[in-house]
Structure formats: C-alpha cells, structure tokens
Amino acid sequence: MANPRSNNGSVKPIKLFKNWILTITSFSFFLLIITQACGDNNGIRVIDPDSIDTTTKRGGDGKMVFLRECAACHSIFKNMTGPALDTVVRVRDSAWIFEFLTNRRLVKEDSISKSFKKDFANTECQRFPELTREQVGQVLQYIEEAQHPHY
C-alpha cells in the first residue's frame, strides 16, 4: 500500500479526503442497516394517528379510534401482542365486545376467553371505560370493512 504521507511528513489531502468519504459512507450504510433491522418494530408499521386524514379515508372515525386505542397491541389480520381483531369479531358480538372493553367485570370468562388467554400468554387487554357504544361500533365497522392484505 502506498504511503499516505508526503515527503515532508504531512498526510496527502487526496488520501485524507478518500478516507473521510469512506468513513462517512460506511457509517451511513451501518445506520441504514440498523434502521432497517431494528427500526421497524419487527415488521409492524407504527402509524401516528395524528398524521392521518380520516375525513377522506374509508373507516372514518373507526379508523382513528382503532389507531389510537387498539393498534399498539392488535392488527386486524395478524396476531400481535393480542389476537387479530378479524378473529375476535367472528367469535364475539358487538355487545360483548363493548362490555369487555368498557366494563370488564360484567363479562364472564368462558372457553373462548380462556383460549385467547392461553394463546397470548395471559396478556390482558387494556380497559377503555371512556369509549362509547358509537365509537366501539365504528371500530367494528372499520374492522369488518377492512380488506385482507395479500401477503
């Protein structure tokens, strides 16, 4: 390898510039790899509900409530921390779901509840006492109208 120093002992400007570019490029590539590997929440896209204009998109208020209250633990079609919600709406009616979310002590544990607890390591869904029947209905409508993605 050629000596990067000139005859008087100083580093040649061209070699210094090339080393600097190589270092910056390598560091940028490293950050890109780390961001791609770790920054996407294990393949789950995190959406800021405040960034979505729900007045023009399908689902309207139901989508906003879903993103604000449910999306941290649930997807519509994929199991996450909690079960996929398309599965929940197939086995539970809207009255049960409303009581479960807002006033859990009115809901009796049954074989479906026990199965969900077992499948999701006894993780318990957060309570949402402030949700109205209308909001829960809007979320359920949003879930029912969602189209399954093609994986």
Q: What are the structural domain ranges in the chain?
A: 1-39, 49-145
Residue type, 47: I
Which residues lie below 8 Å from residue 63, measured CB to CB, with a gap of 6+?
Answer: 52, 54, 57, 142
Span 4-22, pLDDT tens digits: 555 666 666 777 777 777 7
pLDDT at 134: 95
Regarding predicted confidence, which is higher, 91 or 150?
91
CATH number of the domain located at residue range(s) 49-145 in this protein:
1.10.760.10
The C-alpha atoms of residue 116 and residue 112 are separated, in whole angstroms, by 6
The C-alpha atoms of residue 148 and residue 29 are separated, in whole angstroms, by 35
Span 118-150, pLDDT tens digits: 999 989 899 999 999 999 999 999 999 987 766
pLDDT at 27 exceeding the cut of 90:
no
pLDDT at 2: 57
Residue type, 19: N
- Is residue 17 classed as helix, strand or coil in its secondary structure? helix
pLDDT band at 24 (very low <50, low <70, confident <90, very high): confident
